[in-house]
């Protein structure tokens, strides 16, 4: 981890941001010897694998059925959501 002053950051912002992005360098920014900020690289999320839509909806249906098995016969998800929204 590198430490730089706020003044240096303003003078070399492009170079410093390149280090953060390309070299995954975390940088502490100080002002009068006190840390005021951290520049931390953001890891880009990986693209999820494309899923078969039929398999996706089958899984959703299975989860819905499992949740529904815990509800009394006279209660459904729509009623539950209405109750929750009323409480807000």
Per-residue tens of pLDDT for the chain, all 88 residues? 899 999 999 999 999 999 999 999 999 999 999 999 999 999 876 666 676 788 887 887 888 778 778 777 777 777 777 777 776 5
pLDDT for res 59: 84
Contact 54, 29 (CB under 8 A): no
pLDDT for res 55: 83
Contacts 24+ apart (CB under 8 A), 35-39: 35/3, 36/6
pTM for the whole thing? 0.49
Residue from 59, 88, 63 nearest 77 by CA: 63
Dump strand ranges (E) for 12-87.
27-31, 34-39
Beta carbons within 8 Å of 41's beta carbon, 6+ residues apart: 20, 21, 24, 25, 26
């Amino acid at each position: 981890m590198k430490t730089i002053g706020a003044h240096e950051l303003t003078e070399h912002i492009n170079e410093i941001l390149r280090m953060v992005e390309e070299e995954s360098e975390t940088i502490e920014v100080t002002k009068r010897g006190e840390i005021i900020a951290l520049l931390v690289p953001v890891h880009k999320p990986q693209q999820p694998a494309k899923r078969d839509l039929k398999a996706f909806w089958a899984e959703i249906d299975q989860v819905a059925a499992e949740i529904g098995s815990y509800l009394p016969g006279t209660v459904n998800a729509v009623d539950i959501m209405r109750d929750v929204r009323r409480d807000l």
